[in-house]
Amino acid sequence: SLYCRSEFHAAIDVCKQAESNVDSPHYYIFFNWGTALKALKRYKEAIVKFERVLELNQYDFEVKKEIDECNKMLDSEKGIDA
């Protein structure tokens, strides 16, 4: 997969295309998108995609951990100890 090969920009492009090609995107598109953004240290954008996952699947506890991790990374970039 693109993610396994660290091709995060390409993975994001695939997610964008997948979202635009279906009427009702599966939450996993947004999870993969958020994961690729997180890997690129684009934490605010990643949180937006992870929150979209929760809109589609409110019981996804893994994505809640991803949001927490992104928030911690944002805090550490600002010099705030979590």
Model confidence band, residue 17 (pLDDT cutoffs 50, 70, 90): confident
Rounded to whole angstroms, how far apart are CA atoms 81 and 40?
22
- Answer whether 0.85 is exceeded by the pTM: no
Rounded to whole angstroms, how far apart are CA atoms 12 and 25?
15
Model confidence band, residue 67 (pLDDT cutoffs 50, 70, 90): very high
Give the Å distances, CA to CA, from 22 to 16, 40, 64, 65.
11, 26, 25, 27
Rounded to whole angstroms, how far apart are CA atoms 7 and 26?
21
What pLDDT does residue 29 have? Answer: 92
